[in-house]
Amino acid sequence: MKRGKGMKFVGDSRIPAREHRMNNTPKDYSEYPGKTEAFFPNYLLKEWLVGAVFLIGFLCLTVAHPAPLEQPADPNATGYIPVPDWFFLFLYQLLKYPAAAGNLTILGTVVIPGLAFGALLLAPWLDKGPERRLSKRPIATGMMLLGFMSVAYLTWEAGDQHEWGGAASIDDDVREIDMSHQGYDMYVEESCISCHGDNMEGTAMGPDLYDLGYDAEGIAQIAVEGIGEMPPIYDLEDGSEEELLILAEYVLEQGSSEEGTETDDEESEEGAEEENGEDAEEDEEADA
């Protein structure tokens, strides 16, 4: 008979149990005073309290320093260069390099980011060492440092090269005009707004109408005859000369700066004083 075949093993009560055998019964929390605690409600309550503190602090920060909103989005504002949020600035900067732009955009948008994030996902499988010290885990440590330095450098470069004052300068250049005026209704009806903007600030299709070097008659003539690449926009057969003059005066008045207006007023006052002086001299000569 082969060894072990047909044999049965039974216990022997005469053999005493081993006293040094470890007990496999799970230990209770009470055996570790001060080191363990129940998940609910003790541990979970602490987590909720910490989360509530950070949430209240974040809300206070948003109230004290609200988000800096800019002007409403305008597709015709070609001078404004939008940028993504700060956590995507490194990808935005990556697309500026010739090796990841133009015909090679697929490298900067898919290939390089895919390899980088794929390497981070595979890091636990590439380095399975039990060590916890960073110095003894060169693969994981090197990948972490390389990724951190790359993202930090590209983010810093994107912020340093962007003209953050560009949006502010655009806001400063836009002037407020009177939209309740009759001339503004005509400004909209004649489609001036499509090329020169809501506030006459100009668009990609036409220049701004600020501080024009024309008087009301000159503006009216341009509206009827056109100038340069601008076609005629006003037909005297469909409208009257009075309405045309209202539109021209409105554009001239709303497009003039305060400094220009003050200068014009001063010049008109000086001209009036000179005329009054000439009239007085003529009167004196006539009396003599």
The predicted-structure confidence for 63-109, as pLDDT tens digits, reads as follows: 998 877 766 666 665 556 778 888 899 988 988 888 887 788 888 88
| 259 pLDDT more than 50 | no
> Looking at the 3D structure of the chain, how many domains does it have?
3
pLDDT of residue 257: 65
DSSP string, 268-284: HHHHHHHHHHHHHHHHH
Domain final residue pick, 108, 126, 161: 161
pLDDT of residue 264: 45
Residue 52 Cα distances to 42, 55, 62, 63, angstroms: 16, 5, 15, 17
Question: Is 122 within a domain?
Answer: yes
Q: Which domain holds residue 196?
A: 175-262
| 138 pLDDT more than 70 | yes
Residue 256 to residue 11: CA distance in whole angstroms:
110
| 114 pLDDT more than 80 | yes
Question: Is 48 within a domain?
Answer: yes
126 and 94, same domain (yes or no): yes
pLDDT in tens, 12-55: 556 565 555 666 655 666 666 666 777 788 889 999 999 999 99
Question: Is 16 within a domain?
Answer: no
pLDDT of residue 50: 94
Give me the mean pLDDT over the 264-283 stretch.
Answer: 53
DSSP state of 200: S
Residue in the structure block whose two tokens are 């490194």: 90
Question: Is 140 within a domain?
Answer: yes
Mean pLDDT across the chain: 76
192 and 223, same domain (yes or no): yes
The two tokens of residue 3 are 């060894």
* Model confidence band, residue 260 (pLDDT cutoffs 50, 70, 90): very low
pLDDT in tens, 116-131: 888 888 888 888 878 8
DSSP state of 26: P
pLDDT of residue 155: 93
Domain final residue pick, 99, 127, 161: 161
156 and 179, same domain (yes or no): no
137: Cβ–Cβ under 8 A, 6 or more apart, which residues?
127, 129, 131
* Mean pLDDT comparison of 32-41, 78-87, 195-204, 245-254, highest-scoring range: 245-254
Q: Could you give the percent of the chain with pLDDT greater than 90?
A: 11
| 154 pLDDT more than 90 | yes
Reference 254, options 197, 195, 204, 206; nearest CA is 197
Reference 143, options 121, 111, 114, 158; nearest CA is 121
pLDDT of residue 82: 76
CA-based R_g, the chain, Å? 40
Residue 140 to residue 146: CA distance in whole angstroms:
10
57 and 95, same domain (yes or no): no
Range 142-149, long-range pairs (CB < 8 A, 24+ positions): 143/119, 147/116, 147/119, 147/120
pLDDT of residue 178: 82
Q: Helix, strand or coil for residue 230?
A: strand
Residue 234 to residue 237: CA distance in whole angstroms:
9
201 and 135, same domain (yes or no): no
DSSP string, 27-66: PPGGGSTTT---IIIIIHHHHHHHHHHHHHHHHHHHHHS-
92 and 148, same domain (yes or no): yes
244 and 181, same domain (yes or no): yes
CB of 211 within 8 A of CB of 82? no
52 and 95, same domain (yes or no): no
Q: 135 versus 285: which is more confidently predicted? A: 135
pLDDT of residue 261: 44
* Mean pLDDT comparison of 30-34, 156-160, 269-273, highest-scoring range: 156-160
213 and 155, same domain (yes or no): no
